Structure 1
Amino acid sequence: MARGTDRLGPDAVDLLMEQWRQQRPDVDVSAMAVFGRLHRDFYRYLDHIVPVFEKHGISMAAFDVLSALRRSGPPFRRTAGELANQTLVTTGGITLRVKRLEADGLVIREGDPHDGRVVYVRLTDAGLAVIDAVVEDHFSNEQRMLVGLTMTERKQLAQLLSRLELSLELAKIAHAED
């Protein structure tokens, strides 16, 4: 483990879990060991990334759309449905985001010349410049956030988080069948 990241005692989640065990020993709170830390980590993560986005005049929601368009490669365009699938946001949510980005001059909507029912969202030159600048700052910032983990730990954590996502999807399916 990297120097300075060893814990000398219980963390906040350990303390919360112990309080629950004392007050409600009949309830299994062991999942809080994962989700409590995940929740706390997410808020700390936001504390690090929001200033990067704000520096470039965009939000996290805008970053999701702009980065999905940038990753698509030239001509940097996708349909609202494709964007919704990539960002885990409804097509209605994508429409709102696109309207804001369009007002800021970062994307435009354009029809498909072969199918009038299809509308694409495309990065403008300004949008491409913004997302390219944000990406450089964002990914170097994320690297700094992982300073306390070895490369092996990073890979293990990434694998476990991928398995957690699958577990959450399986739980959703099982719940829907109930």
Structure 2
Amino acid sequence: MAKEEYQDIIDNLVSDWNKERPELDASAMQIVGRILKLGKILERRAGQALKESGIYYTDLDVLATLRRSGQPYELTPKQLMKSVLITSGAMTALLERLTKLELIYRASDPKDGRVKLAGLTQKGKKVIDTAIEIRFQEASKSVGMLTATQQKIFVALLKTMLAEIEDA
């Protein structure tokens, strides 16, 4: 079956709404619905790929943020929250779990003793360095069906959408 002939759940959704409520314009769901579906699929694939490293996708997010922050690989929970898409309550639980796994340590911030920094342990650095390679390989596989030109166009379109929607 040619890709143009392929009918997915989003085509069915739009077709159904066009029949049931023809006065509504459901065409934007051709994009939004697929982005939402792709997000779920890509997150699930990333989670599966990370299983062998022994960490979850949310763990990767925090560990990777610490790792890419550069030495001494320490950030405040507030700084982590800017980079990770979870609630503050979930962040607290996640930091506690990563501490128990000895992937991070918690230490008082020398600038403000009331703040507890999260820092990457040697074990954590080793785990994230392995896991991020797996993650990047999975990401490459996920876009491998697109040519380099298609990828550049897709990046530009997604950035345009994000810039407009985030500002709103």
What is the TM-score with the length of structure 1 in the denominator?
A: 0.86
Q: 1:18 Cα shift?
A: 1.1
Which digits, 9 at most, give the CA deviation of each residue in 1:46-93, with x for residues without a partner?
332111222111111111100000000111110000000111334333
Find the partner of 2:161 among 150, 160, 164. 164
| Structure 1 segment 74-93 matched on structure 2, within 5 A | 74-93=71-90
Give distance in 1, aligned partners of 2:93 and 2:44: 24
Find the partner of 2:11 among 9, 14, 17. 14
Q: Relative to structure 1, is the Cα distance of residues 44 and 88 closer, same or farther in structure 2, using a 3 angstrom cutoff?
A: closer
What corresponds to 1:141 in structure 2? Answer: 138
| Structure 1 segment 70-109 matched on structure 2, within 5 A | 70-109=67-106
Find the partner of 1:115 among 112, 115, 118. 112
Root-mean-square deviation over aligned CA pairs: 1.7
Find the partner of 1:153 among 150, 153, 157. 150
What is the TM-score with the length of structure 2 in the denominator?
A: 0.91
Q: Once superposed, which parts of structure 1, at least 4 consecutive aligned residues long, lie more than 4 Å away?
A: none
- Determine if the alignment matches structure 1 residue 44 to structure 2 residue 41: yes
Give distance in 2, aligned partners of 1:37 and 1:7: 15
What corresponds to 1:31 in structure 2? Answer: 28
Give distance in 1, aligned partners of 2:78 and 2:111: 18
Structure 1 unaligned regions, length at least 5: 172-178
Equivalent position SS for 2:25: coil
Structure 2 unaligned regions, length at least 5: none
Give distance in 1, aligned partners of 2:48 and 2:74: 27
Aligned residues: 167
Equivalent position SS for 2:22: coil
Give distance in 2, aligned partners of 1:169 and 1:113: 34
Give distance in 1, aligned partners of 2:86 and 2:142: 26
Structure with more relative contact order (C-alpha pairs < 8 Å, separation 6 or more): 1
